[in-house]
């Protein structure tokens, strides 16, 4: 008689002995399952980091939101270390992928802001700033130090000029865009943000609209960002007759006198704020009376980026005044150290320089156009700046800023 199959041999195969290419597969060990889960989590984490990085680079409010949430969880010091690490990685990547060619000003300027003028008309315009040329020939573009008029709103005479300076001899991708404002035609005002700078307790009873006043919008030309959040140094501010944060004696101060003329100087040189219409403080003056701050003679400094090291390569902003006080220089940089920013502003013509806010999301310089129905819309003066179309004229800005109007 033929042999009868046993009960065990007649059972269907289980997951432990499922057929494979060579017969029956060995059971999956717990260590192998754990490894697969770790790989999946790593892939998900990497995708999340990529998405967050893209959000920071593309969405104006996303970067500040992420940073604030992380500070509440990890603390300010650890978030600063993370920002430094990310900036370092980005800088190393740029060094690898950079082709060594510096960008021209015309390549970085939105088409709607390019004036209809020939190079000869621009270069020899009697009222434009003096051409300063390049700072470092090895990283300069053909347009370094060449001032071009910026197209402003219809009916407003040319009163803003722009140039590009490459202020780092080792990084052709380090850029400083400088805007020269003719103060005989323009007036600068300060506005406190709806939240920043946060006041000391008890908070003063002061309005915080966070937008350009309605009465100044017909003459509105441009606007640019303010200074650090209060938690990053507690630099003082006074606006509309109200002191939001007390002044720090040694801090650099960007201020306007009662007649609208501007000053950049250490607080101790401003007579205790007497006769000033508004003032906003920053870290120490980067350049004072034409002299570079001693702390910027090397890159190893922590004084001009909250607690970020001076050697950290990030986007920065600054203001500077010409020796005669008739020209305000506003600088917005990409991939610069504090020292490079200071040297670039000085090269452009500023005798006194104060750094404003830093990091990718905050520095901006926008100009205004009239859209359909007369509504004002903002245009970034440089490609790649983060801003919203109703910047400073729509939803209230949580951060302080400065706006520029045409004088009558």
Per-residue model confidence as pLDDT tens digits over 109-164: 999 888 765 443 444 344 568 889 999 999 999 999 999 999 998 777 779 999 99
- Answer whether residue 173 shows pLDDT above 80: yes
Indicate the range of 60-69, 261-270, 368-377 predicted with least confidence: 60-69
- In angstroms, the CA 307 to CA 310 distance is 9
pLDDT of residue 75: 67
pLDDT of residue 20: 45
What pairing do the DSSP bridges indicate for beta strands 352-358 and 316-321? Answer: antiparallel
Q: 113 near 379, Cβ under 8 Å?
A: yes
Counting residues of the chain whose pLDDT is more than 70, the rounded percentage is 75
Closest to 316 measured CA to CA, from 295, 340, 292: 340
- Answer whether residue 23 shows pLDDT above 60: no
Torsion on CA atoms 148, 149, 152, 155, rounded to nearest 10: -160
Of the two residues 314 and 299, the one the predictor is more confident about is 314
pLDDT of residue 14: 44
**Domain-wise residue ranges, the chain:** 40-97, 105-406
pLDDT of residue 215: 96
DSSP E strand stretches across 166-315? 175-182, 186-191, 220-225, 237-239, 242-245, 252-257, 262-266, 276-282, 287-288, 291-292
pLDDT of residue 136: 97
Of the two residues 347 and 51, the one the predictor is more confident about is 347
pLDDT of residue 271: 83
Query: For 246, how many CA atoms within 13 A lie in the half-sphere containing its CB?
Result: 5
Q: 254 near 279, Cβ under 8 Å?
A: yes
Q: pTM for the complete prediction? A: 0.81
**Alpha-carbon distance values, 189 to 48, 254, 284, 319, 401 (Å):** 41, 11, 22, 13, 9
117 exposure class (CB count in 10 Å sphere: 0-12, 13-18, 19+): middle
* Section 292-320 average pLDDT: 77
217 exposure class (CB count in 10 Å sphere: 0-12, 13-18, 19+): middle
pLDDT of residue 380: 97
- In angstroms, the CA 152 to CA 157 distance is 8
- pLDDT band per the 50, 70, 90 thresholds, residue 306: very low
Of the two residues 198 and 29, the one the predictor is more confident about is 198
43-66 pLDDT per residue, tens: 665 665 566 545 555 556 555 655
238-256 pLDDT per residue, tens: 999 999 999 999 999 999 9
- pLDDT band per the 50, 70, 90 thresholds, residue 92: confident
Indicate the range of 85-89, 114-118, 336-340 predicted with least confidence: 114-118
- In angstroms, the CA 182 to CA 126 distance is 13
pLDDT of residue 126: 46
Of the two residues 47 and 91, the one the predictor is more confident about is 91
1-10 pLDDT per residue, tens: 444 444 444 4
Of the two residues 302 and 35, the one the predictor is more confident about is 35
- pLDDT band per the 50, 70, 90 thresholds, residue 266: very high
């Amino acid at each position: 008689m033929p042999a009868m199959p046993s009960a065990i041999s007649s059972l269907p195969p289980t997951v432990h002995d499922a057929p494979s290419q060579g017969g029956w597969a060995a059971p999956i060990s717990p260590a192998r399952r754990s490894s697969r889960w770790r790989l999946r989590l790593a892939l998900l984490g990497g995708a999340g980091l990529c998405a967050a990085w893209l959000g920071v680079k593309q969405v104006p409010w996303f970067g500040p939101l992420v940073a604030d949430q992380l500070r509440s969880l990890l603390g300010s010091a650890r978030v600063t270390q993370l920002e430094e690490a990310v900036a370092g990685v980005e800088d190393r990547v740029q060094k690898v992928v950079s082709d060594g060619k510096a960008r021209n000003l015309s390549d970085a300027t939105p088409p709607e802001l390019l004036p209809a003028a020939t190079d000869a008309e621009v270069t020899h315009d009697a009222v434009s700033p003096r051409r300063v040329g390049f700072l470092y020939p090895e990283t300069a573009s053909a347009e370094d130090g060449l001032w071009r008029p910026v197209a402003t709103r219809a009916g407003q005479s040319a009163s803003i000029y722009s140039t590009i300076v490459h202020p780092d001899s080792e990084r052709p991708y380090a850029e400083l865009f400088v805007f020269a404002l003719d103060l005989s035609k323009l007036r600068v005002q300060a506005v406190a943000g709806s939240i920043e700078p946060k006041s000391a307790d008890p908070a003063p009873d002061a309005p915080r609209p966070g937008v350009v006043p309605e009465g100044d919008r017909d003459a509105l030309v441009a606007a640019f960002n303010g200074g650090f959040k209060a938690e990053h140094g507690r630099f003082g501010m006074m606006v509309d007759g109200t002191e939001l944060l007390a002044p720090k004696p040694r801090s650099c101060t960007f201020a306007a006198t009662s007649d609208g003329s501007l000053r950049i100087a250490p607080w101790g040189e401003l007579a205790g704020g007497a006769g000033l219409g508004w003032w906003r403080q920053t870290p120490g003056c980067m350049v004072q009376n034409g002299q570079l701050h001693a702390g910027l003679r090397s890159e190893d400094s922590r004084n001009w980026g909250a607690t970020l090291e001076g050697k950290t390569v990030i986007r920065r902003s600054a203001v500077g005044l010409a020796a005669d006080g008739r020209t305000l220089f506003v600088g917005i940089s990409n991939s610069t150290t504090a020292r490079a920013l200071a040297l670039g502003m000085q090269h452009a013509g500023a005798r006194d320089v104060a750094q404003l806010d830093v990091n990718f999301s905050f520095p901006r310089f926008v100009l205004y156009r009239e859209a359909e129905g007369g509504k004002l819309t903002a245009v970034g003066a440089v490609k790649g700046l983060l801003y919203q179309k109703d910047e400073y004229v729509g939803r209230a800005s949580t951060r302080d800023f400065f706006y520029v109007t045409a004088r009558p």
